[in-house]
Structures are given as structure tokens and as C-alpha cells.
Amino acid sequence: MKHRVLMQIGLALTVLLGPAGSTEAADKVKAVASFSILGDMISQVGGDRVEVVTLVGPDGDAHVFSPTPADAKTLAGADVFFVNGLGFEGWLQRLEKASGFKGRLVTASDGVKPLTMEEEGHHHGEEDHADHADHAKGHNDDEDDDEDEEEEVPDPHAWQDLTNGKIYVANIRDGLIAADPAGKAVYEANAAKYLDAIAKEEVAVRAALATLPEARRKIITSHDAFNYFGSAYGLEIIAPEGVSTESEASAQDVAMIIRQIKADKIPAVFVENIADRRLLDQIARETGAKIGGTLYSDALSGADGPAPTYLDMFRHNVGALTAALSS
């Protein structure tokens, strides 16, 4: 009799609470992030209430990412999908259509004042943007074979300015609250703490870079991902490739950069964790500029690397820059 009563109590508890360990997972908001930097930000704001899956992981290149059927399945089961926007995820519409995603789409860069840049071709933006550009040109292949058309496009790498990082965090907070109103107090508290950490890091970044001699505030990077960083913190950034790692520098571009390095005595070139370093190695050999180390631009490092979080990325990059440019 006693055994039967205990079994009945256990059954009642199972009905109320669910199987051991399953309730918490079932209650979590399922969030998908387009790339690793955004994934870290969501984790910081969401805390234990959010389960985050990142499509383009550490050291991954979102410019050349190609979604798989497994990615479409992951997105189909998500409550909220966080993307950068500004044309960064050229595969976004394709993935949304393939997945049948019905959740909430949050664009983290909403409210950012974007910088613009010239880019040859139209492969980097959203598919509809590319189609519009092709239509405007009239698909005159005979003319396009002989000349490359440059287009002003938004620079998508807005997270490289910590001021913009705060905008991202606010959009993430609001997106999570909209998807999970019951967690509002948690998301607001986590976001406030994170915003304070970003503000403190921005002070540290400005203080460290302020020590650099004016004549040494020029660097070469492997693709055009640091315009926001340079604009915010007073560095001139030169890149042999365009906004996307799919863009290849022409021989004329490389020759021009080599001349500029020699004329301006640019002290260092930097490799990015998502880019092929061979071109920069060639430039370094021909100019005598030193390889100043690896910078993290579009992706974080793995957990055991030097830039596993958004703020760690800034600490690492600023450390590499000051070490190479100080003397």
C-alpha cells in the first residue's frame, strides 16, 4: 500500500514537472544567430532563458557561407532569428524561404547610421538587391565584360564600433522581450550590465589607441572590415579587398597599395582570422612592412582562442594594434 502511494505521488510529480531535466530546456527561447559575434551578444543578454544556435560559427566566414538543409531545419524550429542586416547575410532570403521560418526576425543593426563604401560587382548584398542592380544595368554583358562597375553599398561591419555595439544590444534585448515577455526583467537587467561593460571597454580602447603616434596610425588589413573601427578610433585602414572576402584585389590595386605603403611608411599589415593571408604575405615581402598579427573581424575565435567573446575581440585587436604600431 505504501509503495503504491509513493508511485502515485511520483506519477503526479512527473505530470506536473515533466521528466527530469526537460522542463528548463523546453521553456527556453530558441534563438538563432546568423554569426558568432551576434551569438555571443544574444547569450550575454538572454542568459539562462535563451538557447542560442549560431549558423556561422567561430572563425567562419559569413560572406561565403552556404546554408545546409540542417540549417533550414534549425531555423524552422526557432522562436526568433537575429541577423546583422546591412547586406551582410547575402544568403538570408534563401534560407528563410527554404526553412519556412515563422518566428520573429530581429535585425541587430537597426538604428545604426551606416557607413558606405564602393564595391565592384553586386554579389555581397541581399539577392533582391543584386537582382535590382542587374536589372538597372540591363544585363548588357558585352559592355560589362570590359569594365567593372562600382556601386556604393552599406558597410555591414557596424559592430566594429562599440557605440554601434550598444545599439545591437538594445535591439537584441527588445527582440527577446517581444518573443518572451515573461523574461522582460531578466533581459533588461542582463542588457544593462552588458551595456555598462561595453561602455567601460570603449573607454579602455580609446585610452590605449590614444597612445599611438600620429604617424603610425595607418594599417593594411586583408579585407574591408574595419572602416567603422578606424572612423571611431582614429586609424586609417587600407584593404586590398573589398567589403566581402569574395572580392579579389586586382594586380593594379595591389601595386597601388604597395606604392602607398612605401610612400607613407605604413608600419604593419594585419591578417584576419577569416581571410587567406597569402596576399598580405606578398605585400609584406615587397614592402618590408611587418605582419602585425591576426585581427578578428567578422567572427570570434573558438572558446580556447584569444577572442571568444565580443569584448575579448576588442581587447585582442587593440592589443595587437598597439603592440605593432607603438614603435
pLDDT of residue 11: 42
How many whole angstroms separate alpha carbon 113 and alpha carbon 232? 13
Cell numbers placing 37:
559575434
How many whole angstroms separate alpha carbon 41 and alpha carbon 162? 12
56, part of any domain: no
Amino acid identity, position 315: R
pLDDT of residue 315: 98
Residue labelled with grid coordinates 527530469: 20
245, part of any domain: yes
CB 268 within 8 A of CB 289: yes
CB 315 within 8 A of CB 289: no
Three-state secondary structure call for residue 152:
strand
pLDDT of residue 25: 53
- CATH number of the domain residue 282 falls in: 3.40.50.1980
In Å, how far are 53, 95, 130 from 134, measured between CA atoms? 34, 22, 6
Domain span including residue 259: 212-325
39, part of any domain: no
Counting Cβ atoms within 10 Å, is residue 246 exposed (0-12), middle (13-18) or buried (19+)? middle
How many domains does one find in the chain?
A: 1
156, part of any domain: no
CB 309 within 8 A of CB 317: no
CB 136 within 8 A of CB 68: no
How many whole angstroms separate alpha carbon 100 and alpha carbon 173? 25
Cell numbers placing 243:
567589403
292, part of any domain: yes
290, part of any domain: yes
Counting Cβ atoms within 10 Å, is residue 188 exposed (0-12), middle (13-18) or buried (19+)? middle
117, part of any domain: no
Whole-prediction pTM: 0.79
**Per-position pLDDT tens, the chain of length 327:** 544 544 444 444 444 444 443 335 568 999 999 999 999 999 999 999 999 999 999 999 998 899 999 999 999 999 999 999 999 999 999 999 999 999 999 999 999 999 988 765 433 334 433 333 333 333 344 444 444 556 789 999 999 999 999 999 999 999 999 999 999 999 999 999 999 999 999 999 999 999 999 888 988 886 689 999 999 999 998 876 544 445 555 677 667 777 777 777 777 778 776 555 677 677 778 877 777 788 999 999 999 999 999 999 999 999 999 998 886
CB 210 within 8 A of CB 195: no
DSSP letter at 214 equals G
pLDDT of residue 35: 98
260, part of any domain: yes
